Amino acid sequence: MSRVGKKAVAVPKGVTARLDGQTVVMKGPKGELKFTVPDLVSVKMEGAEIAVANKDDSKASRAQWGMSRAQIANLAKGVTDGFEKKLEINGVGYRAAIQGKVLKLSLGFSHDVDYAVPDGVTVTTPKPTEINVVGIDKQRVGQTAAEIRAYRGPEPYKGKGVKYADEFIFRKEGKKK
């Protein structure tokens, strides 16, 4: 039984939530998001809370129950606070710069990597070795950060590459003489 799904999602102050059939729509100070709940799960508004329940006791229904509740909670957090991922760049000559809607990355290749920033996400570079990815949709922010990191992930010997700010890189010793 889902422990996540049991708890109702409280709608924060300043946020309007409504149900259109199986679709939950939340509008807040940062913008508007919507999520369509799967058919195996029922959703209803009870005052200033949104409750999610599974329709039957199948394995698929129980799996989607907790996921649906988490997605609705992410809508509430996204339209009020938003989400942010921080990336760090380590390596000699490795740097990033934003030019319009394009992130230019110098990551030790023979060419610069140009990453087109998707809609709904804001990318900033406070320092040449730091990248901040900000947006209201948790999935889009995480996907954008993962795509930037994938160009040159951190390697275990010198730690060079793009890594999340809170990520720990296990270091290897290297060759001995």
Residue-level pLDDT at 149: 96
Residues 26 and 16: beta-carbon distance below 8 Å: yes
pLDDT at 2 over 80: no
- Domains of the chain plus CATH, in order, are 3-80 (3.90.930.12), 83-164 (3.90.930.12)
CB burial of 31-44 (b: ≥16 within 10 Å; e: otherwise) equals eebeeebbebbebe
SS3 of 39-52: the string is: CCEEEEEECCEEEE
Reported as a single tens digit per residue, the pLDDT across 53-83 is 988 888 888 889 989 999 999 999 999 999 9
| pLDDT band with cut points at 50, 70 and 90 for residue 108 | very high
DSSP state of 31: -
Residue 111 is predicted with a pLDDT of: 95
- Among candidates 81, 103, 98, 71, which has minimal Cα distance to 4? 71
* Radius of gyration of the chain measured on its C-alpha atoms: 20
Confidence label for 1 from pLDDT (cuts 50, 70 and 90): low
pLDDT at 16 over 70: yes
37: nearest Cα among 3, 72, 6:
72
Model confidence at 45: pLDDT above 80: yes
- Predicted TM-score (pTM) of this structure: 0.87
CB of 26 closer than 8 Å to CB of 11 = yes
